Amino acid sequence: MIFESDLLGNEIADKQMIPSEQTFVWFHRLALLCASGCFPREWREAGGDTETVYKEQVQALWPNTMKKAFLGGIVFVLFLTSLGQSDDLGEVRVDEDGIHFHDEVVDNDGPEVIVTSDEPVIPEVDIMTLDPAGSPIFTIGSGKYPVGQEVKMMTMQNGAKIYYSRDNSEPNTFSQEFTGEPIVFNDPGEHVIKAICTAPEYRSSATITMTFQIQAAAGNPTIKASPLEGQPANISDATETYLGSFQDGVLITFESSTLGVLFYYTLNETEPSTKTSHYTKDHILISTPGNHSVRAIAKSENTFESKESQVWVHVFPRPPRPAFHLRSDKEFMVDMHVAYHKMADRHQDEVMRPADLETFITLTLNPDDGMCPECVVNSLEKEAITKATNALKRREGLHVDKDLKLYHGFVTRGSMFSFVKRLNTNLHDDRTKLMAQLEM
């Protein structure tokens, strides 16, 4: 026969006699003791839990005499049982006054000890006096991870179970049990896992919380090439990876299906990296003659790196032009564009600084430096360029902050364009006059 009661004492297996409500309170306390590991092993293996107390071989009616009964409600008895207990525990009588027990506890190395309670005892148990189970261990910590990332949990506690939640609620023994299959994050966003460990004769561990920011990878870069304005190009033999041959320079543009990305690239056949490579929002310009490998990846603040894309382009030189030669506004703009990118290449973010301004102006005025006898700037001309550049910096306030970023639109348009174009005309006229004097 089995007596059975829930937390409120609403049900009992033996309907011949129903104990008082107070008696169920004692049964409830016994149930808590059983769940917390304080009952003898035989009781726990019989299936005791926090809602039901089970005991086989209960004699008919009430009160009862129970064999293999509980001794652990009193600290003294717990101490004695730690020395070693007989296989046949004594008797425990439960009535409406409390718990009465008589038992023999045998020390394996000593004499028999008799423990008797003449007065009823209601054992009080503080679950917090039990040691906590070891905390669950995650295979990865909180942080940012790509879609498809897996996480597992483990414990060093023998016989422990791991329970977890994914809805930010506190886990308990009714939560999902981790059985060893990895948890896979297939959706971008924030994922929170809270986990505990439970083990026999231990209270639940502290809750361990991990927060995983799952991000998708950026869309792979699409790389395109186009000729400089007014310059010829040969794209008849272009393929997906070879984009053609371009005179004087080629404009490389980057696109991605992911918005707000930066493109990190290399031109020397090395692997691009977000830590070491130059980057741009959308384009670069290559003007150095020869074959060039363009390798690029894309990344935004809310994504992981894309896969790499790579193309090849060829740049061939145009016929050289002498320094300070007169050009149309359109041609002059192209030369300023090329000069800007040569200066911007000095910086990882591809943006000029005030210290680059003089060299930028010189490259614009003499775009084919060293390619012909007239493609040089003499010392007097250099002095004139330096003087004019310093005056420009003071007028535009560019001499105050050496780290000021000079963006392409500011340097190649408006007053800057007019200033450089006018300086080019003046130096061209000076050189023409000097040549005429020398010929006289």
For 204-220, the pLDDT digits (tens) are 999 999 999 999 999 99
Give me the phi and psi of 300, to 5 degrees please.
-120, 175
* Helix (H), strand (E) at residue 415: helix 414-439
Question: Tokens 């004594």 correspond to what residue?
Answer: 90
Nearest of 221, 302, 227, 224 to residue 265 by alpha carbon: 221
Count other Cβ atoms within 10 Å, centred on residue 348: 13
Q: What percent of the chain has pLDDT over 70?
A: 70
Give SS3 for 27: helix
Question: Tokens 């026999």 correspond to what residue?
Answer: 200
> 227-268 pLDDT, tens per residue?
998 899 999 999 999 999 999 999 999 999 999 999 999 999
Looking at residue 174, its amino acid is F
The beta-strand segments (E) located in 300-407 are 309-316
331 touches 230 (CB < 8 A): yes
Q: Which two tokens stand for residue 89?
A: 């525990």
Whole-angstrom distance, CA of residue 315 vs CA of residue 249: 6
User: Residues near 108 by Cβ (< 8 Å), separated by ≥ 6?
Assistant: 83, 84
pLDDT at 58: 32
263 touches 296 (CB < 8 A): yes
Rounded (5°) CA angle 154-192-307: 90
User: Residues near 386 by Cβ (< 8 Å), separated by ≥ 6?
Assistant: 358
Average pLDDT over residues 310-338: 94
Report the chain's mean pLDDT, rounded to a whole number.
78
Rounded (5°) CA angle 266-365-403: 55
- Give me the sheet containing 290-299, strands edge to edge: 233-234, 242-247, 309-316, 290-299, 262-266, 278-280
Q: Which two tokens stand for residue 396?
A: 């535009």
The pTM is what? 0.59
Average pLDDT over residues 363-386: 94
Looking at residue 159, its amino acid is G
Whole-angstrom distance, CA of residue 166 vs CA of residue 149: 16
Please check the confidence at residue 431 and state whether its pLDDT lies above 50. yes
Q: Which domains are present in the chain? A: 21-129 (no CATH), 137-215 (2.60.40.1080), 216-318 (2.60.40.10), 322-440 (no CATH)
User: Residues near 387 by Cβ (< 8 Å), separated by ≥ 6?
Assistant: none
Whole-angstrom distance, CA of residue 257 vs CA of residue 220: 8
Q: How confident is the model at residue 101 (pLDDT cuts 50, 70, 90)?
A: low
Rounded (5°) CA angle 155-157-163: 55
Rounded to a whole number of angstroms, the CA Rg of the chain reads 43
324 touches 388 (CB < 8 A): no
Whole-angstrom distance, CA of residue 408 vs CA of residue 411: 5
Whole-angstrom distance, CA of residue 133 vs CA of residue 155: 9
The beta-strand segments (E) located in 1-97 are 91-95
Looking at residue 265, its amino acid is Y
Distances (CA, A) of 107 to 81, 148, 255: 9, 58, 82
Q: How confident is the model at residue 327 (pLDDT cuts 50, 70, 90)?
A: very high
pLDDT at 158: 87
Give SS3 for 141: coil
pLDDT at 129: 63
Question: Tokens 């038992």 correspond to what residue?
Answer: 103
The residue with greater pLDDT, 201 or 103, is 201
pLDDT at 91: 53
pLDDT at 35: 39
Q: Which two tokens stand for residue 363?
A: 């490259």
| Torsion of Cα atoms, 253 then 268 then 318 then 426, to 10° | 80
